[in-house]
Amino acid sequence: MESISLHTGYKQLEQITDQKLIELIVKEVQNFFISDSQSTENYSNSARPIGTIPLGVSNRHIHLTPKTFQILFGEQAECESIRPLYQPGEFASKNLLTIVGPKLRSIPNVRILGPLRKYDQVEVTLTDAILLGINPPVTNSGSLEKAAPLTLVGPKGSIYIDKCAIIANRHIHMTNSDAKKIGVMDGDFCKVRINGEKSTIFENVLIRTNDNWKLQIHLDTDDANAANVREETFVEFIEKISTRK
């Protein structure tokens, strides 16, 4: 199957039949539930095969500053948790936004993750970017110098942010102790394998370390679908492929 570039994506999207559109919508709903279930899964050490890393599938989501949150939800609104995420202290909030691209193509019901941060960031997939009509960089969380523009629409207001949308690097959260055992350092890149019916090797997976984190690799829904991830999955670490700059 031919890949769809951002340049040609619109024409092909406009030619999608009603049946294909229904199939795409069903797939997106499935992705949402896969993402939610895996991001909150409590993997036990006894269940994890030796030498593997638990996988969390990350759906599109939003990080906001307190100031932007108040613009969109009102001065008295709070970012309230509806469920904890896998990483300690992080949570999925009840708050949803619509994200709108420069040609007024939009995606509704995009969830805000908490706690609130020091920057505004919308993490999307390449599929989302084609639909929205933007060209976001593949980069690390918080690296917004070349991020794409979006308008965020909430129940109490809207705001245009000229640099907020990115496609997040594939990355692994781990403690410094985990990193020492594996033989990597914060900022290194590595290669991993997902076994199964559509066994897939992913390269350029970023190592991120923090002693408050639990070991987990994050892939977005595009990558997870490529490897046919449908249930609890553990990823095999293969090797470090480059050292941090």
| Residue 3 maps to a domain | no
E strands, 45-90, in order: 52-58, 61-63, 81-84
Q: Residue 41: which pLDDT band, with cuts at 50, 70 and 90?
A: very low
Write the CATH number for 185.
2.40.40.20
Whether residue 2 lies inside any domain: the answer is: no
Exposed, middle or buried by CB within 10 Å (0-12, 13-18, 19+), for 123?
Answer: buried
Burial of 199 (C-beta count, 10 Å sphere; 0-12/13-18/19+): exposed
Burial of residue 90, with CB atoms counted within 10 A of its CB: 0-12 exposed, 13-18 middle, 19 or more buried = middle
Mean pLDDT in residue range 223-240: 94
Single residue among 114, 139, 168 that ends a domain in this structure: 168
Residues 138 and 234 in one domain: no
Is residue 24 a contact partner of residue 16, using CB atoms and an 8 Å limit?
yes
Are residue 95 and residue 139 in the same domain, yes or no? yes
Confidence at 51, pLDDT banded by 50, 70, 90: confident
Instruction: Report the domain count for the chain.
Output: 2
243: helix, strand or coil: coil
pLDDT per position as a tens digit, 154-169: 999 999 999 999 999 9
Asked if residue 21 belongs to a domain, the reply is yes
Last residue of a domain, one of 147, 168, 189: 168
Map tokens 């977005």 to a residue: 220
d(CA 74, CA 97): 13
Residue 1 domain flag: no
Range of the domain at 155: 59-168
Average pLDDT of the chain? 86
